[in-house]
């Protein structure tokens, strides 16, 4: 399958810069690290001093293209340049409350919403590190439709 990660990478790069400015000096989440999952999709890990272990204040963001109904010129299935989903994940504590502070989580969701893509909020079980694998295993608890681009849909 043909895919392009260019748009996802560009949007997450811009988001990383905005979040680094917004979270600078925060008492909890103050580090932004860029990464890729095993399929090559870009990710951001927001943490307190770079500590990304279970039980720590960590928010992960991953952007992936939505499977398109499009075909390439050879008739093979392909992922369209747009639209995309953005997943936002964080660990729950023992009382089922988010590990990151609400103000940090709200700031992240607000900045992610500015990208114009569908947001999926995922909660990771207590004592489980926030990672691409734990995000894959978690179901979205909230989906926020924010799409502004659907080039392969409609008449």
Q: What pLDDT, in 10s, does the model give residues 43-97?
A: 999 999 999 999 999 999 999 987 666 677 787 776 565 678 999 999 999 999 9
Instruction: Write 26-33 long-range contacts (CB < 8 A, 24+).
Output: 26/104, 28/57, 28/100, 28/101, 28/104, 29/57, 29/59, 29/100, 29/101, 29/104
Residue where the block lists tokens 């992936």: 64
pLDDT at residue number 70: 67
Residue where the block lists tokens 């990151």: 100
Burial category of 75 from C-beta neighbours within 10 Å (exposed 0-12, middle 13-18, buried 19 and up):
exposed
**Cβ neighbours of residue 73 under 8 Å, at least 6 residues apart?**
none
Tell me which of 25 and 133 has the higher pLDDT. 133
Contact 121, 130 (CB under 8 A): no
Q: What angle do CA 141, 28, 120 make, to 5 degrees?
A: 20
Q: Report the range out of 17-21, 62-66, 149-153 with the highest average pLDDT.
A: 17-21
Q: Helix and strand tally (H, E) in the chain?
A: 3, 6
Predicted confidence (pLDDT) at residue 125 exceeds the cutoff of 80: yes
Predicted confidence (pLDDT) at residue 34 exceeds the cutoff of 90: yes
Q: Which of 35, 30, 62 is nearest to 46 (CA)?
A: 30
Give the other-Cβ count within 10 Å of 152's Cβ.
Answer: 15
Q: Which of 46, 126, 132 is nearest to 87 (CA)?
A: 132
Strand partners, 84: 65
């Amino acid at each position: 399958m043909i895919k392009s990660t260019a748009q996802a990478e560009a949007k997450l790069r811009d988001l990383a810069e905005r979040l680094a400015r917004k979270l600078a000096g925060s008492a909890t989440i103050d580090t932004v690290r860029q990464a890729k999952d095993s399929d090559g999709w870009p990710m951001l890990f927001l943490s307190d001093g770079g500590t990304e272990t279970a039980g720590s204040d960590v928010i992960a963001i991953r952007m992936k293209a939505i499977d398109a109904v499009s075909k390439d010129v050879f008739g093979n299935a392909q992922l369209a340049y747009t639209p995309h989903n953005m997943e936002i994940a964080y660990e729950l504590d023992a009382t089922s409350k988010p590990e990151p502070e609400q103000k940090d989580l709200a700031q992240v969701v607000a900045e992610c919403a500015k990208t114009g893509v569908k947001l999926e909020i995922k909660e990771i079980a207590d004592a489980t590190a926030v990672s691409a694998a734990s995000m894959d295993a978690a179901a979205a608890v909230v989906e926020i439709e924010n799409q502004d681009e659907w080039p392969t849909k409609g008449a």
